């Protein structure tokens, strides 16, 4: 396996890990699962503060919703595939951002 492929897998896993940690931390603090409906009425500082959270927690939320749909019997293959590809691509992008931020801060070797 090439170095580029290993780096891509690392970035993908890092993105999913960050998403899972954020969503689980949110659920621990608020005692309700993170979702795309956390904006409330969509105004104020709380709604603006939720945007960066959702940018990084979205892959976890998408996959959790896809798994819940599958368990309820309302899912088909195409829906699961679209959710998985969307969450994977989103995870790669957020993982790349985390890697770039860590490198910019000088925390990486």
Residues 23 and 57 sit within 8 Å (Cβ to Cβ): yes
Sorting pLDDT into bands at 50, 70 and 90, what band is 49?
confident
How confident is the model at residue 38, as a pLDDT?
74
DSSP codes joined into one string, the chain:
--HHHHHHHHHHHHHHHHHHHHHHHHHHHHSS---TTTTTTS-HHHHHHHHHHHHHHHHHHHHHHHHHHHHHT---HHHHHHHHHHHHHHHHHHHHHHHHHHHHHT---
What average pLDDT score do residues 87-95 get?
96
In angstroms, what CA-CA distances link 19 with 23, 61, 73, 78?
6, 8, 26, 23
Average pLDDT, the chain: 88
**Residue of higher predicted confidence among 27 and 72:** 27
The answer, yes or no, to whether residue 42 has pLDDT greater than 70, is no
How confident is the model at residue 40, as a pLDDT?
65
How confident is the model at residue 46, as a pLDDT?
74
**Where are the chain's structural domains?**
3-105
How confident is the model at residue 19, as a pLDDT?
96
The answer, yes or no, to whether residue 13 has pLDDT greater than 80, is yes
Per-residue pLDDT of 70-83, as tens digits, reads 877 776 888 889 99
Residue in the block written with tokens 């891509």: 8
């Amino acid at each position: 396996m090439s170095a580029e492929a290993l780096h891509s897998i690392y970035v993908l896993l890092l993105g999913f890990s960050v998403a899972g940690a954020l969503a689980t931390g949110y659920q621990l603090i608020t005692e309700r699962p993170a979702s795309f409906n956390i904006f409330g009425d969509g105004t104020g500082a709380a709604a603006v503060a939720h945007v960066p959270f959702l940018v990084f927690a979205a892959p976890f939320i998408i996959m959790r919703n896809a798994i819940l749909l599958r368990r309820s019997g309302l899912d088909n293959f195409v829906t699961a595939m679209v959710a998985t590809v969307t969450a994977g691509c989103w995870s790669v992008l957020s993982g790349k951002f985390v890697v770039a931020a860590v490198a910019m801060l000088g925390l990486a070797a």
